Structure 1
Amino acid sequence: MLAESEARLPLKCFDITVRQVLAAADLEGLSDAEADAAGDEGYLRGNSRYEDHRGWAWSDVRDALKVEAPLVAQIASATDSAAAESAFDAARDPEIEGAEVLWGLDIGVAAAVITLSALGATPFISCNASTFGGPHPAARPYVAFYISGADPVALIDLAKAADVGLEAEDGVACLYARCVLDLLRFAELAEQRSALAP
């Protein structure tokens, strides 16, 4: 679990209400062919920088958590967290894909994206909502995704346990939080439960 000291980090938090309501009837589907084409084009549902994050494993979730949790703490504790986030982004090698560069995802949402993939969902856009002061457009940290092969009941249960929001928005599912630490907690809980599964 997140260390108690990390829970007290000077992070931007958002004054929002979280709800866990996900009705299958409100969700659109995405075929493998459509997802493959979107990955080739680099565009899906308004995301012009779409990367295909389907098929990640629980080992990838563990790797993401090992990198992201300390990185969130390091950047949040920096004198200028926006500059620290920018420095990390500038140092990423676009030719490398993996946990060490958080797959090019925003710091604070990467583990949640990889977790949703491990659960069978198809994440397609995410944002940390200027958690560290950098220029990010969202009003709250979130990951939008197609439910795909994920179990909606298990997703709702995990969202409730992590106290994050999970709702259908414009035909897709949206996982969101008051703070990126809540999204990290969602990833941790999912990983712990995966280790207990038969």
Structure 2
Amino acid sequence: MAAHYILLLTLLSMANSFAMAYDSSPLQDFCVASNNSQLIINGLLCKNPKLVEADDFSFSGLDIAGNTMNRLGSKVTLLNAEQIAGLNTLGVSMARVDLEIYGLNPPHTHPRASEIFTLLEGKVYVGFITSSPENKLFSKVLNKGDSFVFPKGLIHFELNIGKTKAVGIAALGSQNPGFNSVADAVFGSNPKIFDDVLAKAFQLDKKIVDWVQSQF
């Protein structure tokens, strides 16, 4: 009987050790193992707690509108652990999104974070697309005070369809959510993807692909 108890306790301890052992969530696109002496970690080094100050947890300036004078008419001002040191290891960040009239925050993904977007001013059309094979679009027109959730890693966008400038605040579930614009990644990669690949994938003439790539 004692042997059975010992076996049971051993199995429980093993199960507990497996439950407690897991990889931390990635905070960058990749972290290749290195044997050299330079320290590169998945995140940021921690400050000595005795040296921490209130300023490490604050930021000023998010009330200032971003510069939207660009081809998309949009500006995203990200506030992550690089700007607020106290966010390190807390798993959150935020961003201000400014949109000119008909300005677009183009289809993009955050590979490491879900997002909740709240519209403060204007009228904005938002949406996200589910994974293949469904590729289902969930979209809605937001008015002042409305919020919309974008699940982690899914393509989403915001388009100002109102008659005034729009501004929103996005809360993200990572201190470094990442940003991957679909158009920039596909047509603006460095080096360029062979036009044969993109022509076949998008069912376009290669001359059109070449022209689109030249815009990036």
Normalised-by-shorter TM-score class: under 0.3
Between Structure 1 and Structure 2, which shows a larger proportion of strand residues? 2
Greater relative contact order (Cα < 8 A, sep 6+):
1
- Relative to the length of structure 1, the TM-score reads 0.25
- Relative to the length of structure 2, the TM-score reads 0.24
Between Structure 1 and Structure 2, which shows a larger proportion of helix residues? 1
Q: Looking at CA atoms only, which structure, 1 or 2, has the larger radius of gyration?
A: 2
